[in-house]
C-alpha cells in the first residue's frame, strides 16, 4: 500500500524505463520525432535530461522502444482473431469490430499508425519489423478466415478474398479522420462502423 507513496530505489529503477517510454510517447505523438526534445520528455516525469540517457542511449533508441511498446494492442489482436467463434460471417464481423476497438479506443494504436507513416523514411527497419511481427500475421489470419468462409460456402469466391487489407481499410480511414482533425470535424462513428460491416458482408456474401 505504501508502495504508491514511497518506492524503494530498486522499485523506482524498475519503473523508470516505462515512465520514460510513456512520457516519450506523448511527446512524439504531439511533435513527431524530429521536433521532440529529450528535455521535454524528461520534464514530463520530473527528471532531467541526463536521466533519460541513463536508460536509452539515443533519442532514436527511445523512439524505437516507444514503437515496440505501443505495438502491444496489435499483438493482442492475433490470439483474439484465432479464437473467434461462430459462423464465418460472425467471425469476420467480430474481427472488423476489433479493429475499431483497437484503433478508436486505444489512442496508442492510432498514434502508432501515425508514427509509422510519418517516420517511415527515417526508420525503415522499424516499419518492416512492425509489419513482420504484427500486420502481416494479422492479414494472414484474416485471409485464412475468409478462405475458410469461402470453403464453407458463406462467402463467394471472389478476388476480394485475396486482400484482407481491403476488408479492413475503412477502419484505417476512420483512424485518419481522428488523427487529422482531432475532434474538429466529428464523424458518426457508430454509423460508420455499421456501414462498413454492412457493405463488406454484402460484398462478400455468397449469391
In angstroms, the CA 12 to CA 60 distance is: 24
Q: For the chain, percent helix, then strand, then coil, each to nearest 5?
A: 80, 0, 20
Complex with DNA: residue 16 or 143, whichever CB lies closer = 16
Minimum CB–partner distance for residue 168 and its own copies (Å):
8
Complex with its own copies: residue 18 or 194, whichever CB lies closer = 194
Could you list the residues that contact DNA (CB under 7 A)? 8-10, 12-13, 16, 35-39, 42, 46-51, 53-55, 57-60
110, three cell numbers: 492510432
DSSP 152: T
Could you list the residues that contact its own copies (CB under 8 A)? 30-35, 114, 116-122, 124, 127-128, 131, 156, 158-160, 162-163, 165-170, 172-174, 176-177, 179-182, 184-185, 191-192, 194-196, 198-205
Report the 3 state secondary structure along 6-52: CCCHHHHHHHHHHHHHHHHHHHHHHHCCCCCCHHHHHHHCCCCHHHH
Complex with its own copies: residue 30 or 151, whichever CB lies closer = 30
- Neighbouring residues of 145: CB distance < 8 A, sequence distance ≥ 6: 81, 84, 88, 91, 92, 95
| Residue environment code for 72-98, b if the CB has 16+ CB neighbours within 10 A, otherwise e | ebbeebeeebeebeeebbebbbbbbeb
Minimum CB–partner distance for residue 176 and its own copies (Å):
6
Minimum CB–partner distance for residue 112 and DNA (Å):
20
Minimum CB–partner distance for residue 28 and DNA (Å):
11
Which partner from the list DNA, its own copies, none does 9 bind, CB cut-off 5 to 8 Å by kind? DNA
Complex with its own copies: residue 152 or 205, whichever CB lies closer = 205
Minimum CB–partner distance for residue 134 and its own copies (Å):
13
Complex with its own copies: residue 152 or 199, whichever CB lies closer = 199
User: Phi and psi for 188 in degrees, rounded to 5?
Assistant: -80, 95
Amino acid at each position: 500500500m505504501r508502495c504508491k507513496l514511497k518506492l524503494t530505489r530498486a522499485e523506482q529503477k524498475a519503473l523508470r524505463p516505462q515512465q520514460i517510454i510513456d512520457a516519450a510517447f506523448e511527446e512524439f505523438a504531439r511533435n513527431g520525432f524530429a521536433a521532440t526534445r529529450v528535455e521535454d520528455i524528461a520534464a514530463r516525469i520530473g527528471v532531467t535530461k541526463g536521466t533519460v540517457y541513463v536508460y536509452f542511449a539515443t533519442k532514436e533508441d527511445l523512439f524505437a522502444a516507444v514503437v515496440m511498446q505501443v505495438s502491444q494492442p496489435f499483438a493482442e489482436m492475433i490470439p483474439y482473431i484465432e479464437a473467434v467463434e461462430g459462423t464465418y460471417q460472425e467471425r469476420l464481423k467480430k474481427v472488423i469490430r476489433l479493429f475499431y476497438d483497437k484503433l478508436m479506443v486505444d489512442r496508442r494504436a492510432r498514434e502508432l499508425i501515425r508514427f509509422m507513416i510519418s517516420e517511415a523514411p527515417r526508420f525503415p527497419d522499424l516499419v518492416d519489423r512492425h509489419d513482420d511481427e504484427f500486420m502481416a500475421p494479422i492479414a494472414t489470419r484474416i485471409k485464412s478466415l475468409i478462405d475458410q468462409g469461402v470453403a464453407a460456402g458463406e462467402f463467394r469466391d471472389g478476388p476480394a478474398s485475396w486482400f484482407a487489407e481491403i476488408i479492413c481499410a475503412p477502419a484505417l480511414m476512420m483512424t485518419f479522420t481522428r488523427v487529422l482533425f482531432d475532434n474538429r470535424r466529428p464523424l458518426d462513428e457508430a454509423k460508420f462502423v455499421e456501414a462498413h460491416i454492412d457493405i463488406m458482408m454484402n460484398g462478400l456474401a455468397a449469391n
